[in-house]
Amino acid sequence: MKLTNPLSNRSSLHPAAERGAARRQWLFLARVVVLVAVVVLGYKLLRAGLFGLAAYHQATELRALRDDGDLDSADLARAASILGEAYRSVAALEQEMRLFAPALHAARLLPWVGPTLAATPELLVAGRESVALAAETLQLIAPAAAAQPAAPMPEVLLAAIAAGPDPFAALSSRAGAASRALASIPAARLIGPLAEPVAQAQSALALVADGLTLAPVLPKLLGMYGAQTYLLLVQNNQELRATGGFISAVGQVTINQGRIEGLEIADSYTVARNDVDHPRSPEPQERYMGIPLVFLRDANWSPDFPTTALLARSLYAQDAGVPVDGVATIDLRAVQLLVGALGPLEVEGADEPVTGANIVEQVQRFWDQPLETDLTIENAGQEWWKQRKDFMPILAQAALGRLQSGHFNPLALADAAEASLAERAVQVWMVDEDAAERLAALGWDGGLHPLPGADYVALVDTNMGYNKVNAVLKRATYTDMVERCYFNYVRLYVPGGSELVSVDGVEADSASSQAGERGTQVFAGYFVQEPGSEHTVIFRYRLPPEITPTAYRLVVQRQSGSGPLPLTVQAGDTRFATTLVEARLEWTPNMQTGGE
């Protein structure tokens, strides 16, 4: 019998032929995959292009509405409709571009255009949230706009917030999302046309996000329910004091229905009455400065601004007879930033427009020789003393006029305001408890804010020599006043319960340790520094037992008015160095923290 293998009739291929056939199959599949990918990517790019084109046309429509002049209620309704369409376009564009995000992020290494390509996903997220924020805002203000068709937009916005503040506060999440997306972008590395607008938008959105949290109290603060009066302390940080500088001038600002109705600025020495009782000065002030009683000009002994503000408010009510609803500070750094944002100001008596670049020089020049007079510090004595600050109210009126005219870059002003608040060049405290708590949460109140269970460091210098010597720490100015010794009372605020071991670099009988504001412990001492020299003060102390290496955290707070603070921290094996520009730094040893 002959048996036949049923498989024997199958044809067999040579192994090389089999490999070739398999390779052809894989090549075919690869071509199919590539073709499908190209089709999908092309489809995505086509859709992205169409959505991008739609967004461009909608932006063009919005610009045309803006350029037509003041918007009436019909224009606002049209703008809200366009913004709604723009939101859908930008949201769809952002969704289509998500597929390309890894490739775009990888492009950051490309020269010139790489960082801009890498930032595209974040720019689209910020754009989506910003457009949504604008659309929802216009919807909220539409009823107020219809009720006040002839009112300027700021008044319409304030009326809308006064009518219903909570929906505006809810918008802070939109602004926060846009702000976070933009904050991750290195604006300085973007292509030229984008770098400055993105940098300004970063500050503006951060300020809007924070400011919207104030919406529930904003109507009251801006006088929508009745006029509000505020005390403005103008601090000269070239004569450093605890809250930022010597109180050189005092302003009284009245706001009613969102408008500044009164602005008066006077020399701080004029706000003083000798026929009423004043509190006794802190012992170091009396001992080293010869000041037995506290008048408004020397009221900022405490570096905790809410503490200082309460005292300043009380003194102003007593000596000027005016109760105020809040207290704010502004120093030369803030003036420099804000004037720079407003643009060149024509100030009576100045021989050139005042700008952010020359404002400090102008202030110093008019200090030396007051406006419309030949009097100088050398030849006039008491008469010069009375007129040396006449420039300040004139400058303030020029700045107010520019604000009221509307002829300034709002993004640049928002950038300056955000920087001033972040650096504590401006500090704000309110009598209203809700407003005060919200300002503290934002870090705008200038308070000392240690964290429970965390290490805390706040270094505070107080110039006790009645001169402008702090200026020479960076540059020469007020020549006849700064070339003097530096009489400094230095304080170090640390966690409550810390124990001072020793202090070097201060007069032996001046060293002290006592309970400080906000549950802190404060170590202090006094020293005199010769012109042109360096001086080192070293505090050695033990932290309270609850602060341990296993869960170590550190909060560093920079003194207002002191300028950028070089900082080096060693915690165990971890070392960290930065320059602290903003008011506050929170750090843990396992945290990657960048400096500015």
**The 3-state secondary structure of 99-160, one letter per residue:** HHHHHHHHHHHCCCCHHHHHHHHHHHHHHHHHHHHHHHHHHHHHHHHHHCCCCCHHHHHHHH
Q: Are residues 212 and 232 in the same domain?
A: no
Over residues 188-195, the mean pLDDT reads 90
- Residue 263, domain extent: 228-442
Predicted confidence at residue 484, as pLDDT, reads: 58
Predicted confidence at residue 370, as pLDDT, reads: 63
Query: CA triplet 420, 524, 245: central angle to 5 degrees?
Result: 30
Lowest mean pLDDT, pick from 146-150, 379-383, 410-414: 379-383
Predicted confidence at residue 66, as pLDDT, reads: 79
Query: Could you give the CA distance from residue 566 to residue 528 in angstroms, rounded to a whole number?
Result: 22
Q: Are residues 304 and 189 in the same domain?
A: no
DSSP 268-332: GGGS--SSS--PBPPHHHHHHH---B--GGG---SSSHHHHHHHHHHHHHHHT----SEEEEEEH
Could you read off the pLDDT of 143-155 as tens digits, one per residue? 888 888 777 777 8
Predicted confidence at residue 407, as pLDDT, reads: 86
468 domain-assigned: yes
540 domain-assigned: yes
- 8 A C-beta contact, residue 250 and residue 232: yes
223 domain-assigned: no
Predicted confidence at residue 351, as pLDDT, reads: 80
Predicted confidence at residue 408, as pLDDT, reads: 87
Over residues 370-384, the mean pLDDT reads 51
**pLDDT of 592 above 70:** no
Alpha-carbon separation of residue 212 from 220, 265, 268, 272, 424 (angstroms): 14, 30, 34, 38, 20
517 domain-assigned: yes
- Please report the beta strands in 158-297, taking only residues with DSSP state E, as ranges in sequence order: 228-236, 246-256, 259-267
DSSP 435-487: HHHHHHHHT-S----PPTTSEEEEEEEEE-SSS-GGGGGTS--SHHHHSS-EE
Lowest mean pLDDT, pick from 134-143, 371-380, 533-542, 576-585: 371-380
Over residues 35-61, the mean pLDDT reads 84
Lowest mean pLDDT, pick from 177-181, 426-430, 462-466: 462-466
Q: Are residues 375 and 248 in the same domain?
A: yes
Dihedral of the CA atoms 316, 322, 324, 330 (nearest 10)? -50
Task: Name the domain boundary from 442, 471, 497.
Answer: 442
Predicted confidence at residue 1, as pLDDT, reads: 45
DSSP 70-83: S--HHHHHHHHHHH
Q: Are residues 173 and 235 in the same domain?
A: no
Over residues 340-363, the mean pLDDT reads 87
Instruction: Report residue 197: phi and psi, to 5°.
Output: -60, -40
In the chain, the amino acid numbered 375 is L
Over residues 201-227, the mean pLDDT reads 91
Residue 497 zone, left/alpha/beta (φ > 0; ψ -120 to 50; rest)? left
Lowest mean pLDDT, pick from 109-118, 170-179, 342-351, 520-529: 342-351
**pLDDT of 492 above 90:** yes
Angle between helices 391-405 and 359-368 (to 10 degrees): 150
Over residues 56-71, the mean pLDDT reads 83
Q: Are residues 246 and 196 in the same domain?
A: no
Q: Which of 24-28, 41-45, 71-75 has the highest mean pLDDT?
A: 41-45
Pairing of strands 228-236, 326-331: parallel
Predicted confidence at residue 389, as pLDDT, reads: 59
Lowest mean pLDDT, pick from 89-103, 165-179, 285-299, 401-415: 401-415
- In terms of Cα–Cα distance, which of 450, 440, 416 is closest to 214? 440
Over residues 95-116, the mean pLDDT reads 90
- In terms of Cα–Cα distance, which of 215, 269, 263 is closest to 247? 269
Task: Name the domain boundary from 377, 412, 442.
Answer: 442
Predicted confidence at residue 475, as pLDDT, reads: 32
Tokens 């509190």 -> residue: 279
- 8 A C-beta contact, residue 376 and residue 369: yes
In the chain, the amino acid numbered 25 is Q
Percent of the chain scored above 70 by pLDDT?
A: 86
Q: Are residues 276 and 411 in the same domain?
A: yes
Predicted confidence at residue 369, as pLDDT, reads: 61
- Assign residue 390 the CATH number of its domain: 3.40.630
Q: Are residues 493 and 429 in the same domain?
A: no
**pLDDT of 170 above 80:** yes
**pLDDT of 542 above 60:** yes
Lowest mean pLDDT, pick from 152-156, 214-218, 530-534: 152-156
**pLDDT of 252 above 80:** yes
21 domain-assigned: no
Task: Name the domain boundary from 442, 468, 499.
Answer: 442
Q: Are residues 234 and 204 in the same domain?
A: no
Predicted confidence at residue 324, as pLDDT, reads: 98
Alpha carbon 509 to its chain centroid, in Å, reads: 40
Lowest mean pLDDT, pick from 67-76, 243-252, 279-288: 67-76
**pLDDT of 450 above 70:** yes
**pLDDT of 555 above 70:** yes
- 8 A C-beta contact, residue 142 and residue 156: no
Tokens 């920079």 -> residue: 558
The two tokens of residue 279 are 């509190």
**pLDDT of 141 above 60:** yes
In the chain, the amino acid numbered 492 is L
Query: Could you give the CA distance from residue 451 to residue 4 in angstroms, rounded to a whole number?
Result: 90
- The 10 Å CB-count burial string (b at 16+, else e) for 167-194 is ebbebbebbbbbbbbbeebebeebeeeb
**Helix/strand/coil for 361:** helix
The two tokens of residue 292 are 């037995």
Radius of gyration of the chain (CA): 31
Q: Are residues 197 and 239 in the same domain?
A: no
Predicted confidence at residue 480, as pLDDT, reads: 47
> Please, which pLDDT band fits residue 577 given cuts at 50, 70 and 90?
very high
> Please, which pLDDT band fits residue 594 given cuts at 50, 70 and 90?
very low
**pLDDT of 25 above 70:** yes
Give me the chain's average pLDDT, please: 86
25 domain-assigned: no
Q: Are residues 423 and 470 in the same domain?
A: no
Over residues 39-43, the mean pLDDT reads 77
Q: Are residues 404 and 265 in the same domain?
A: yes
pTM (2 decimals)?
0.83
Domain count, the chain: 3
Q: Which of 29-33, 235-239, 386-390 has the highest mean pLDDT?
A: 235-239
411 domain-assigned: yes
Q: Are residues 400 and 513 in the same domain?
A: no
> Bigger pLDDT: 153 or 319?
319
28 domain-assigned: no
Alpha carbon 516 to its chain centroid, in Å, reads: 27
Pairing of strands 259-267, 512-515: unpaired
Predicted confidence at residue 32, as pLDDT, reads: 67
Over residues 370-378, the mean pLDDT reads 53
Over residues 378-403, the mean pLDDT reads 68
